Amino acid sequence: MSNPPSKTLDEEIRATVEDRRSYTGVIERLSKASVDKHWDAYADIPWADPDFAVDPDDPRWILPPVDPLGRTEWYRSQPPGVQSRIGLWRVATTMKIGLQFENLLKRGLLGYAYKLPNGSPEFRYVLHETSEECQHAMMFQEFVNRTNMPIRGMPKALDALSQIAPHIPRISTELFFVFVLGGEDPIDYVQRNTIKSDHGLHPLQETIMRIHIAEEARHISFARHYLRHRVPRLPAARRRGLGVAAPLILGVMARIMLTPPGPMVKYFGIPKEVIREAYRTDAWDAELRNSVAKIRDLAAELGMIDGVSKRVWKAVGLWDTPKPRRARAAR
C-alpha cells in the first residue's frame, strides 16, 4: 500500500538517451519508481467511505468550465440533476474507454515482453507497467459499476478495429508505442487540466485521477524514451512510414478520448447544434491540437515529420508548429 496520491501532479522522467547506457539508466529509474510509489485499487481507495459514494445528483459531477460541453448555454440551462448526470456519464465513459484501451495495451506489452532476451531491463519495467494498468482497470471498472449507468465505452466499429492493436508489436514496436502515447497523452492532458482548474471535484474522481496521473507519468516516460532510443536507428523508409501512421492514430484516439459518446448524446437528447457549438469551433480545434502537442513535438524531434506526414497532420486537424526540445524543457 502506498501513501495517498500527492496534491502535486507527478511529472514524467526526462533525460537524454543518446546511447544504450543512458537509456537503460532511465528504465532502471522508472522500475525503481514503480516499486517506491504505487497503488492498489482496493487497498488505497476508500470505496466504503460515505464521502466517496456515487450519487448521480451530486453537484460535484457537473462538468467543469474546461469542458467544451459544460460551457454551452444548453448545458448550463439544464436542471442541476441533469447536469450532474451528464457529467457523471462523461467521467464514467472516459474510465470505461480508458480500461478498454489499457486492456489492449497490456496485451501488447505482454506480447512485446514475451520475446525479450534474458537480462533485458525493459522486461522488468514492462511487467511493472502491466501490473499498474491492471490496478487502473479495476478502479475504473469499480467506478463505472457504482454509477449504475449503461456505460458502453468504445464505439463498436472502433472496438472491433482496435483488436489489431495487441498484435502491432509483432510488426513494429515503435508503432505500438506511438499507439500507446495516442491513448495516454490526450487523457493525461484532460485530467491534468481538470485537476489544475480547481473545479470542486468529487473525492472519488479526484483520487482516481491523481493515482492515474502519477503512474501514467512513468508509462508515458517509458514510451517516449523507447521511441527516442529506437526511432533514430530505423531505416529512413520505416521512419517515414511511422511519421505518416502517427497522426492517423492520434486523429482517432484523441477524438474518442475527448468528445462525448453517441449513447450519452442520444440518452440526454443533446441537440446536434449543441454538439457543433461545443466541438466545431476554433477553441475546440486548438484544444484538440494541444492534447497531442507533446507527441507532435516528439515526432518532429525524431525526424518523423516531412512534407508528406505534415500534410497528414493537417488533414486530421492536429497540426501546429512543433516546439524545439529546449523550449519544451523550459515550459
Task: Give the mean model confidence (pLDDT) for residues 167-175.
Answer: 93
pLDDT digits (tens, 9 = 90+) for 23-50: 999 999 999 999 999 999 999 999 999 9
Q: What is the mean pLDDT of residues 137-156?
A: 94
Q: Is residue 1 part of a domain?
A: no
Residue 205 falls inside a structural domain: yes
Tell me the pLDDT of the chain averaged across its residues: 92
In a domain, 253, yes or no: yes
Neighbours of 264 (CB within 10 A): 20
Mean pLDDT computed over 69-89: 96
Each residue's pLDDT tens digit, 259-308: 888 889 999 999 999 999 999 999 999 999 999 999 999 999 999 999 99
Higher local confidence (pLDDT), 15 or 312: 312
Calpha distance 136→147 (Å, rounded) = 17
Residue 221 pLDDT class (50, 70, 90 cuts): very high
Question: How many residues are there in the chain?
Answer: 331
DSSP structure string for 231-259: GGGS-HHHHHHHHHHHHHHHHHHHHHHHS
Task: Please tell me the predicted confidence (pLDDT) of residue 160.
Answer: 85
Q: How far apart are CA 271 and CA 73, in angstroms?
A: 12
pTM of the model: 0.91
Question: How far is Cα 163 from Cα 167, in angstroms, rounded to an integer?
Answer: 8
Range of the structural domain that residue 28 is part of: 20-329
3, part of any domain: no
| Of 57-66, 155-164, 167-176, the least confident | 155-164
In-domain check, residue 7: no
Q: Which single residue is written with the C-alpha cell 487502473?
A: 136
Give domain status of residue 12, yes or no.
Answer: no
Instruction: Give the three cell numbers for residue 78.
Output: 439544464
Looking at the structure of the chain, the number of domains it has is 1
Q: Cβ–Cβ contacts within 10 Å for residue 148, how many?
A: 10
Please give the grid coordinates belonging to residue 219: 508509462
- The pLDDT of residue 45 is 97
Whole-angstrom Cα Rg for the chain: 20
Instruction: Indicate if the pLDDT at residue 330 is higher than 50.
Output: no
Q: Is residue 163 part of a domain?
A: yes
In a domain, 82, yes or no: yes
CATH of the domain at 292: 1.10.620.20
Average pLDDT over residues 241-266: 92
Residue of higher predicted confidence among 320 and 65? 320
Given a contact cutoff of 8 angstroms between Cβ atoms, the answer to whether 228 and 156 are in contact is: no
275 closest CA partner among 91, 86, 97: 86
pLDDT value at residue 326 = 58
pLDDT of residue 51: 96
